[in-house]
Every structure is written in structure tokens, then in C-alpha cells.
């Protein structure tokens, strides 16, 4: 599932590796579903489908099948990401979590055709994987039935199910994004197309929730709860997908210097992390600060960096050891638009940018400040794009 929204971002994940420059992350919730799937396959599905084997064999098969299943999810997301990158859209991260996977896109597709190709390639990849595993199963079955063939049959079925589910017209599922591409072409308006696709997506999510509740009342507690949680998740994502488009439209054309924080609180590089927390983060309530020495900016330090320092090491660790160095990715010009600032934050995966001109810090722009700016525009009766009042959660 491709996702262009910037919030909520999945935190607390385990960073595995980079593929084609994309950070692959496993959210902590993934481990829960991994254990549940392994147990379901090892203790139930494989013993029923291929009886007569020892439990150790079933557990090995269960772990292998589960790894290949999530590997298939990763391939599905990589297909989205590589197609987006081919269209010039930066993909900073792919996260595997309890409901599958999500590719975090730094910006919207530029036209309906690009949106369609990015969306449709995911289900097509899942169908291709289903065909591959089906062929492997058929080849193994031609010799004699085996547990490996049963694993391949399961992977063929589950990839087919993933492909079909993602084609459902519920935004932000791939089918919902295909629907949005069609509506975008028809309406010639991304905002209107996203609003309609989001409403359809919320309706689809409500149907899942109702069906889940009915299953719970019918006695299928686990299956019903699963559908209920998926419906709740999709409903929230559908709302956020529309909110993100409205936000970008409302920020278009407004220069960074009109919204930036001018009186920026900065921290010295030799300050210990142990002192940084009470003297700056707790005192001012900000999530990040520029790091300056003798009026010269050297980097930015945020709570994300502080969290990575063990508590026992905070007194011996200085700000300069954990800060993000000043770079093109963490700075922006005062004349740049707020839309560009939001896109740049998404690409770098950060919540603030330093506003620099001629090597001098003029201010700082934060994602929280952008949201506050939009809220004020609404209060003043300047919502930006049509129907942007629906942005309010």
C-alpha cells in the first residue's frame, strides 16, 4: 500500500537495511502478527493440510512460510516504491507493521497516469508472486505431495488474497488509489478526486467494521476483531489521505518567511544530553533545536536523536555527538514555498527545517507550525482550497 501522508509516522521500529536507497523498517507491532501467523500455520494449518509430520517440522515450515509471506509484502511495497522513484518521487522508507506494509511517499503523483501506474503495480506484483508459488507447487506435486509444496500452495493463496484485497476501491488501498486516478482524470482536480476516493474508502472501512462486529456476535472473536481493527485503521488512513492533499493545497504559494519562527532558541554543541532534556526540551516544549556556536549553525538536535541515547550514557554524551549535521536536506530558503518545505520534511523524515540565507540562520519552520498556520487561516475564513474545513480531525 503506497502512502503519501506524512503523519502519523510509525515510530519505534527496527531499521533493517537499505534497498535502492530506501530505508526498510520493521515496526514493533510487526512482531506480534509474525508470532500469531507462525503459530497459526505451525499448530493448525500445516498439520491439517499435510498430516503425519513431527511438530518440529511444522514449526520450521511455519517460520519459513511466514518469512516468505512478509517477504512477499516487502516485494509488493518495493514495486510501489520503484515505480514511484521512476516517476521522480522520493521514497524515504518502507515500513512493515501489523497490518502489512506501507511505502512512505514524499509527495503526490504529478498526474493521473503516474498515480495509476504506482497504485496498480502493487497488486500486479502480488498476482505475479501468486503465480510463481502456484507454479512451484504444481511442479513439486508432479513428483509427490510434500510439505514444501504445501508451503508454496499457501504462499500462492495468500499473495492472491493480498492482491485482491488491495484492489478493493477503498482509499488508501491500491484499488482506492486507482479509483482516485480515474476520478482525477475525470474531474481534473486532485483535491476533488481525493475527497471522493476518501469517502468511498471510509465507507468500505465501515463495512469491514460492521462485518467484523457481526462475526464477533456470531462467535468468531479473533476474525471479527481483526476485521474491526483493519476497518478502523483504513478509515483513519482514508481521512488522513484527504487531509494531506488539502494541507498541500492550502500551503501552496505561501513563502516560508511568512510562517517561520524568527526568535529561534538554539543549544550549544558541548551541552550534555542529560542537561539538554530539562534545560531545553522540558523548559520550552519544542521537539528540536538548532545547534549553534559563536553564532554559527552546525546542526539540529531533536527528541528522535535523544531517544537513541541510553539513559546511563546521557551525562557523558554531548549534543554534537548526536545532532544531525547541517545539510541541504535540513535547510530551506526563506523565499521557498510552504509546500516545498512540507515535501522536504517528508523526504528527510524530519519535523523541522532551518531557514538559511547566505550561510545565516533567519529562522526555523516546523510541521507543527504549518498545521497551526492552516488552523488560523480557517478561523479567519481563509481555508485555501474548497472544502478544506474538512481538514479538521
- Which residue in this structure is represented by grid cell 484485497? 165
Closest CA to 214 of 201, 202, 204, 227: 227
Mean pLDDT by 10 residues, the chain (393 residues): 46 77 88 91 92 93 95 95 91 84 80 95 96 92 81 96 91 90 93 91 91 89 85 86 76 85 92 94 90 89 91 93 88 88 77 89 88 75 40 25
Q: Are 78 and 128 in contact (CB under 8 A)?
A: no
Query: What pLDDT score does 6 carry?
Result: 38
Q: Which helix (H) or strand (E) holds 165?
A: helix 147-166
Determine how many CB atoms are found less than 10 A away from the CB of residue 18: 10
Q: Where on the phi/psi map is residue 171: left (φ > 0), alpha (ψ -120 to 50), or beta?
A: beta
Q: Are 363 and 261 in contact (CB under 8 A)?
A: yes
Read off the DSSP letter of residue 43: I
Which residues lie below 8 Å from residue 380, measured CB to CB, with a gap of 6+? none
Query: What pLDDT score does 347 carry?
Result: 67
**H helices within 167-268, ranges in order?**
174-187, 190-217, 221-251
* Cell numbers placing 23: 530505508
Q: Which residues are catalytic?
A: 77
pTM confidence score: 0.70
d(CA 352, CA 329): 10
- Please tell me whether residue 355 adopts helix, strand or coil conformation: strand
Closest CA to 103 of 130, 117, 83, 86: 83
Bridge-based pairing state of the strands 352-357 and 360-366: antiparallel
List of domains in the chain: 2-251 (no CATH), 256-379 (3.10.580.10)
Which residues lie below 8 Å from residue 277, measured CB to CB, with a gap of 6+? 306, 314
Query: What pLDDT score does 3 carry?
Result: 55
d(CA 294, CA 357): 17
- Prior bond to 47 cis, omega within 30? no
Amino acid at each position: 500500500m503506497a502512502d503519501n501522508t506524512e503523519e502519523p509516522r510509525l515510530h519505534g521500529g527496527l531499521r533493517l537495511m537499505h534497498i535502492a536507497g530506501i530505508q526498510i523498517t520493521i515496526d514493533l507491532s510487526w512482531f506480534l502478527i509474525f508470532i500469531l501467523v507462525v503459530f497459526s500455520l505451525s499448530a493448525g494449518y500445516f498439520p491439517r493440510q499435510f498430516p503425519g509430520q513431527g511438530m518440529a517440522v511444522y514449526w520450521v515450515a511455519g517460520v519459513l512460510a511466514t518469512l516468505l509471506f512478509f517477504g512477499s509484502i516487502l516485494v509488493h511495497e518495493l514495486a510501489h516504491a520503484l515505480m514511484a522513484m521512476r516517476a521522480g518521487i522520493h521514497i524515504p522508507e518502507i515500513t512493515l507493521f501489523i497490518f502489512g506494509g506501507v511505502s512512505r511517499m514524499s509527495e503526490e503523483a504529478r498526474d493521473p497516469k503516474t498515480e495509476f501506474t504506482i497504485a496498480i503495480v502493487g497488486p500486479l506484483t502480488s498476482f505475479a508472486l501468486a503465480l510463481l508459488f502456484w507454479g512451484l507447487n504444481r511442479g513439486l506435486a508432479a513428483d509427490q505431495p510434500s510439505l514444501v509444496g504445501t508451503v508454496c500452495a499457501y504462499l500462492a493463496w495468500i499473495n492472491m488474497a493480498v492482491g485482491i484485497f488491495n484492489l478493493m476501491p477503498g482509499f488508501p488501498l491500491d484499488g482506492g488509489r486507482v479509483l482516485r486516478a480515474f476520478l482525477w482524470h475525470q474531474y481534473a482536480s486532485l483535491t476533488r478526486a481525493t475527497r471522493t476516493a476518501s469517502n468511498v474508502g471510509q465507507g468500505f472501512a465501515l463495512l469491514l467494521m460492521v462485518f467484523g462486529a457481526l462475526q464477533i456476535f456470531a462467535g468468531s472473536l479473533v476474525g471479527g476483531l481483526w476485521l474491526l481493527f483493519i476497518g478502523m485503521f483504513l478509515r483513519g488512513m482514508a481521512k488522513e489521505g484527504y487531509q494531506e492533499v488539502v494541507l498541500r493545497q492550502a500551503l501552496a504559494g505561501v513563502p516560508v518567511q511568512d510562517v517561520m519562527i524568527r526568535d529561534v532558541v538554539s543549544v550549544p554543541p558541548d551541552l550534555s544530553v542529560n542537561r539538554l532534556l530539562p534545560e531545553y526540551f522540558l523548559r520550552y516544549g519544542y521537539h528540536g533545536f538548532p545547534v549553534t556556536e559563536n553564532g554559527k549553525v552546525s546542526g539540529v538536535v531533536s527528541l528522535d536523536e535523544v531517544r537513541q541515547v541510553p539513559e546511563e550514557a546521557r551525562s557523558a554524551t554531548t549534543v554534537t555527538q548526536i545532532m544531525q549535521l547541517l545539510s541541504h536536506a535540513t535547510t530551506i530558503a526563506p523565499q521557498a514555498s510552504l509546500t516545498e518545505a512540507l515535501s522536504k520534511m517528508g523526504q528527510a523524515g524530519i519535523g523541522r527545517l532551518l531557514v538559511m540565507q547566505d550561510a545565516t540562520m533567519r529562522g526555523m519552520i516546523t510541521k507543527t507550525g504549518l498545521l497551526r498556520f492552516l488552523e488560523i487561516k480557517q478561523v479567519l475564513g481563509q481555508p485555501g482550497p474548497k472544502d478544506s474545513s474538512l481538514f479538521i480531525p
